[in-house]
Structure 1
């Protein structure tokens, strides 16, 4: 929230005798729709219950919509808080419009709930300080309150920690809010002319600068790669078999509801089932181990899933008390002979292990609880894949419904979409939106729909809570031994969130073809899908994500340009057809840098001035798999000449022949790629299956790759 500047309070304030909102219904005044039968809170109530909002987003937690004003000790300040919050919810109310300093933009209930917490802290702090009237508040009180608010104790007995400036800034804002609505308040307000901190900006008050850059960290590669490998394996290999089991469970549960209860008349059928199981050596169905007080002999049956045994006979359940004399001795004897095993997936088909591709049964026999646990963890894998390969926010993931998948045919190709809602920056409840996704995501969401078994329109993933779900996934893989069974990598401990996955994808697209996801996912396909989604819905979610990726791309290109400059200064010069022009450009920049250093020597220690000089050069950079393309002159681009598109505004990196293009350069970072090409070609040349003529062509490619490696080594001073 940005407060008006300069902020000046009226010199005289005529206090209202009755609140402008007296007798009003909160939601009606704010223009918020309620569900039929929902609680209708009135302004005078000390508890506002907004949980019945019809248009609330799923990401809004129920507790955020229950506002308890009784926690404010001073009763007159409860009215102040109510008036301020309702004014934020209803900025177009006539009385709010009459306030010269009032904010004119609607604030969501979630934002207002945060302000309620801060106002409660502020007013109760004043009460503890012996202040009973807001007229007595001074700048000293404001400063002392903020000094205390900047520290918090995460756990009792632990050292206190300092909150981040942005969090502290919110406490400053609510202190200043009272000034904005002084003309509206009816019970108390600051004295005439008093403006906390004399109207200075909140970030200036807390001693920081507004950092516009995205500071969300990327998911560490040592966590991301095994996590993605595990989740993709669960989705592609385990998921389809598990979905079949889950569907069988739901069918069996539905059938069981229609069956009768067992009676003595069913005893012969029960004995026949027991006889057949003994003859086949089939274990009894295992369920949850109960802790009933029974004799040691009967205790063996505490592991028995009675409802599964009953289903075999065509009844809903078996009353042990009434049928015990008839079947329990037979069951005890059978249990001692064949034992117990989960009733599901007893003849599990094989899948390939992730580490060595050897066949292994996808699971052992599963109990009902084990199937439920497996479903929950594979759903977590579906969530990770969807989030990591789309860049969706938490608020967008939670809005996905069962049945959200869409497919269209365009130019002979299938396009995949997910229908959802865009919440961020939109009005209450958001607006309908669609994400264009790759086929892997479309298939993953389809698997999640099969696993949940919910009707169309139900929430697909429910609460996101990705960090907690991943913690359970790690523990489950180890405790069940499934990680060893499937040959999956160990997922190291560490923080992973939907925001981190979104940031990682944006940076990976910006850094392609060397992005963090490149080892497992075709980033080019994701980038194309994201761009297509933006073109189809320019105001949608993918526009915001694409803008974030493009901003990150600019940052990456500038960083790589600066790194190449420093490498040249250190004696590691670029090579390739475009090396000379790049070196000349860098020499020109270096001359200007030295000239600036004569007036301010600090420019040599800080890259900020250098970045300004190289920004124009960085805008021409395009990253290839084995080279940098400095696309300054389209008429010189070899790829455009080969494609017959000389008027294109971007190079065709996929057609790049960097050994011949006059705008391509090779750097030390590209050496491993060229070495890898040499090794690959030599492998093919040694193969007897490759035709002789093809070997001659490959040898020419190998010689060129070796020449590039030698040039890089010579320019870097590492040649043998």
Structure 2
């Protein structure tokens, strides 16, 4: 990191250090984290009107302020600590770090209150977005659980307070008239086990779950995200937010199948997966 020759290091300073008449080094060697953070914030704030990003509030930000949050996030992710150690090339040292890492990564009350509040705000905005789209009469999801999601959103919309000045959409539905938290609370009441995901949203019902269908009856208390079958499970619904990932996987599978060297068994598995993916991508591109 602390280098000035870009031919031998991946990261280097843009201003080449020099020397003064007394032989003392001048300029900045390598990367200065505080300088990079300040430069990044200044760049974002200078261009936020064109990028659409929100301006970063004026405050002193330094690298150590991210350590606690990053450690807690890593601790919450499955195998997150191990993955981080390998990524940072600290695998051997990480083996000896357990006595202190777990204590440091434990979320304290202040951190959890901050995290829960931001998570609730983000979830409310996402739920309100689904409900807003649904009140226009448009479908918001595809997949095995799409009809159940639409029905729940319709029931939530029916409980919204009547607007002072009623307005109907071109399809005859009443426009949304509620603050995000009220709308989110209504949807949560209809879908208490709704889980947001990267590939889909899970409307968790254990008796229909593909991820836990091989587990004993007493082990199906929560969805197993890592074993999700989003194209087949009756709890699964995909929205336009998920479309880029599904389309990217479809493209990747098609490219793999073009390779004539793929063994027959692997080819059959890829074709089966592609059929599942195309069921979702076709619906996403045609129905939404």
TM-score with structure 1 setting the length? 0.29
State the partner residue of 2:32: 378
Equivalent position to 2:206, from 604, 610, 634: 634
Equivalent position to 2:147, from 580, 584, 596: 580
The alignment partner of 1:614 has SS state of: helix
Aligned counterparts, 1:26-105, within 5 A: none
- Is structure 2 residue 186 aligned with structure 1 residue 620? no
Aligned counterparts, 1:182-197, within 5 A: none
Unaligned runs of 5+ in 2: 47-54, 82-97, 168-174
Instruction: Flag the structure with more relative contact order, 1 or 2, with Cα contacts below 8 A and sequence separation at least 6.
Output: 2
Distance 1:542 1:636, change over 3 A: same
Instruction: Give, in whole Å, the separation in 2 of the partners of 1:591 and 1:557.
Output: 21
Distance 1:556 1:501, change over 3 A: farther
The alignment partner of 1:650 has SS state of: coil
C-alpha deviation, 1:537, in angstroms = 5.3
C-alpha deviation, 1:548, in angstroms = 1.9
Instruction: Give, in whole Å, the separation in 2 of the partners of 1:597 and 1:580.
Output: 25
The alignment partner of 1:629 has SS state of: strand
The size of the alignment, in residue pairs, is 247
- Is structure 2 residue 180 aligned with structure 1 residue 525? no
C-alpha deviation, 1:586, in angstroms = 1.8
Q: Per-residue CA shift, 1:79-132, capped at 9, x if unaligned?
A: xxxxxxxxxxxxxxxxxxxxxxxxxxxxxxxxxxxxxxxxxxxxxxxxxxxxxx
Instruction: Give, in whole Å, the separation in 1 of the partners of 2:143 and 2:127.
Output: 16
Aligned counterparts, 1:223-238, within 5 A: 238=1
Aligned counterparts, 1:71-220, within 5 A: none
Distance 1:495 1:610, change over 3 A: closer
Equivalent position to 1:590, from 134, 157, 174: 157
State the partner residue of 2:116: 550
Equivalent position to 1:652, from 197, 209, 224: 224
C-alpha deviation, 1:592, in angstroms = 2.6
- Is structure 2 residue 237 aligned with structure 1 residue 671? no
C-alpha deviation, 1:526, in angstroms = 5.8
C-alpha deviation, 1:364, in angstroms = 6.1
> Would the aligned equivalents of 1:639 and 1:657 in 2 still touch at CA under 8 Å?
yes
C-alpha deviation, 1:615, in angstroms = 3.3
Instruction: Give, in whole Å, the separation in 1 of the partners of 2:242 and 2:219.
Output: 29
Instruction: Give, in whole Å, the separation in 2 of the partners of 1:541 and 1:505.
Output: 12
State the partner residue of 1:702: 274
Instruction: Give, in whole Å, the separation in 1 of the partners of 2:65 and 2:131.
Output: 27
Unaligned runs of 5+ in 1: 1-237, 243-344, 354-359, 385-465, 476-489, 510-520
Distance 1:522 1:547, change over 3 A: closer
User: How well do the aligned residues superpose, as a CA RMSD in angstroms?
Assistant: 4.7
Aligned counterparts, 1:301-340, within 5 A: none
Aligned counterparts, 1:238-637, within 5 A: 238-239=1-2, 242=3, 350-352=8-10, 366-367=18-19, 368-370=24-26, 373-374=28-29, 377-380=31-34, 470-471=38-39, 493=46, 495=56, 497=59, 525=74, 527-528=76-77, 542-570=108-136, 571-593=138-160, 596-597=161-162, 604-607=176-179, 609-617=182-190, 619-631=192-204, 633-637=205-209
